[in-house]
Amino acid sequence: MRSDVPQERGATTPETPISAVSILFNGNPLAIWIYDAATLKFLDANQSALTQYGYTREAFLQLALSDIVISGSEAEEGERHQVQGRRDHAADVVQRHRRRDGTQLNVAVRSNEVQHLGRLCKLVIAEDITERWHLNAELVQMAHHDALTGLPNRTLLADRMAQAMSSAQRLKHRTAVICVDLDHFKKVNDWYGHAVGDEYLKHIAGLLTSRLRGMDTVARLGGDEFAVVLGEINSADAAGLVGKMLLQALNKPALIGGYTLEPHASLGIAIYPDHGSDMDEVWRAADAAMYRAKRAGGNRFAVAGPDAFSPADDCQSLDGSLQGMLAAGGPLMHYQLQYSPHGGLRAAEAFLRLQDRSHGYIHPDRVIARAEDNGMIYPVGRCVVDAVCRQIDQWNKTTAKPLRVAVNISPMQLKRKEFAQETASSLKKWKIDPACLEMEIIERAIMNVEEILPEMQELSSMGVRFTVDDFGTGYSSLQHLHRLPISTVKIDRTFVHRLCDASSSYPIVKAIIAVGHSMRMEVVAEGVEHEEQKTILSRLGCDGMQGYLLSRPVAAEEIAKLLAKLPPDTEANHRIGPPSVRQSGASRHVRPMTA
């Protein structure tokens, strides 16, 4: 760059070199100024610079470099680099500048030393790159963060994991990775819509972030998967405490999109370097632990261990078990008895039993969820209903006391138009009184009242009864409940478990029983495990109880033995006809109820 920058701005002839330089200086669309290298005072500026910073020429020439360069930007470092470096070499620096009105802008600065008015000066070209800078920042944000929740994505998570492990190796401490997979998130989308599902995910993101430290990272990997990197921990026990805390935070009911939802999740925890020597090994261990937690029923955490397995293998194994069950012609069913508060046999609930790798039984909720995912819920559901009808027929042949049996039904089955007729075929095939069959639906299914009502009404007209399972978790509306042919509601076991705790759910249980009775429905409590719970439920007027205190799920042969021992005068609760609403106290009023 030439050092003979014009000192005069008057008219000149186009042929002179000074005129050409003047045109380049004054007519340049980029901001250009000259300042004294010793005093940093501005000596000249073109119109673009005056416009960019909002000054008149007179005002601008009263300023020094420090008046427009924001302290703490790269300016000072850039100046040192230019002074200490080669004097004849231009240097690019990105700086933050201040306009006259106080607003800030990002500029790309390029400067050269020139001789001007007999002194060493700097000629600076300052390009406003604010818009480009913001666009680049947005692109970086998009490339490294989830668009819905704003959390780091998988790419940024990998970087944070690498940093955490490097720090752990250098400082001789541990770091942990937690895989978080939301339980039954697909149903939230299916039942409430994707808008509620999105709000649900943002709620989860906020909960996870608010419970962790600044050094920790929460990321969303996509869909219903999140991950947490704990920057520094002392032991696996410490990571387990974090997992427990996160579950407690997630399990609190929240109003989302006008619905009260209670999120559940399965967490898998792996520790570096305990469960892997590199990022991939630790991640696989955490992922396997998460699937172990989900396999155990969900809403829990598991720490990585030697019994880890592939999630894909797990799904394939469960699919194979379901296919094998259908090929064998019938499922293995166990039955858990329900009793009245006075000890009379009331009914039984059927549970589908499938063996897992450890020769135990897979949780029924997980079996149903997998059957819904792979499309096998329809043949599996038909098979289970038919097996229960066959079993009722066998019991009826050995006892004069017919037993009502409840079977769990997926909302997907009730949405299928053929379901009622298929059930009627099984009832006719085994010559079963429809009142002996009870179908349990989860409370959240009630939200789809228009889709499930036709099949429920047809089944109810035959005499089949319906029960709402897990009642009280906040998904249903009384208006929807009133429209459906429901005979019984079952109090969710979480309320029964806390009935005698310090954070007692007594008022909730009392209210559920009162609401059920006011709608002419019977109320059954599930998960009764302690005598004190039974006593309180009896006092509140609960109509039936189910739980390990009274009976564990057993094979059909054990039920047959019990039925054979029942005395002829077994109390009326054993009947299978329409229920009555019973209230505690002297003013007990019995009202008949239609199915």
At 479-525, the pLDDT tens digits run: 678 889 999 999 988 789 888 876 678 888 999 999 899 989 999 99
Q: Which of 217, 215, 216, 181 is nearest to 201 (CA)?
A: 181
Q: Match 């009642």 to its residue by tokens.
A: 471
Helix (H/G/I), strand (E/B), else coil: 579: coil
Distance CA 370, CA 29 (A): 65
3-state helix, strand, coil in the chain (%, to 5): 45, 25, 35
Q: What is the pLDDT along the chain (595 residues), one digit of tens a residue?
A: 444 454 444 444 445 455 677 778 888 899 999 999 989 999 999 999 999 999 999 999 999 998 999 876 544 444 443 433 334 444 578 888 999 998 989 898 998 888 888 889 999 999 888 888 777 777 766 778 888 888 888 888 888 888 888 888 888 888 999 999 998 888 888 888 888 999 999 999 999 998 888 888 899 988 889 999 998 888 778 888 898 899 988 888 888 888 888 889 999 999 998 888 888 888 888 988 898 888 777 888 888 875 544 555 566 777 777 888 888 877 899 999 999 998 899 999 999 988 765 556 777 777 887 888 788 899 999 999 999 999 999 998 887 778 999 999 998 899 888 999 999 999 999 999 999 999 999 877 777 788 899 999 999 999 999 999 888 765 555 667 888 999 999 998 878 988 887 667 888 899 999 989 998 999 999 999 999 999 999 999 999 999 999 999 999 999 998 888 876 544 444 444 444 333 333 333 333 323 2
pLDDT, position 478: 67
DSSP type of residue 41: B
Strands (E), 340-409: 345-353, 405-408
Q: Which of 201, 192, 151 is nearest to 411 (CA)?
A: 192
What's the CATH code, domain 314-574? 3.20.20.450
Domain locations along the chain:
17-134, 145-309, 314-574
Q: Which of 221, 224, 268 is nearest to 246 (CA)?
A: 268
Q: Which of 47, 311, 275, 309 is nearest to 174 (CA)?
A: 275
What's the CATH code, domain 145-309? 3.30.70.270
Question: Could you tell me the fold of the domain covering 17-134?
Answer: Beta-Lactamase (3.30.450)
Q: Match 């064998």 to its residue by tokens.
A: 328
489 forms bridges with which residues in the sheet? Answer: 468, 523
Distance CA 412, CA 160 (A): 41
Query: Using an 8 Å Cβ cutoff, are 320 and 355 in contact?
Result: no
Q: At what angle do helices 130-144 and 154-171 cross, to 10 degrees?
A: 80
Cβ atoms < 10 Å from Cβ of 583? 17
pLDDT, position 589: 33
Q: Where does 296-376 have alpha helices with state H?
A: 311-328, 364-374
Q: Residue 359, exposed/middle/buried by CB under 10 A (0-12, 13-18, 19+)?
A: exposed
Helix (H) or strand (E) holding 124: strand 119-128
Query: Using an 8 Å Cβ cutoff, are 247 and 299 in contact?
Result: yes
- Its pTM stands at 0.53
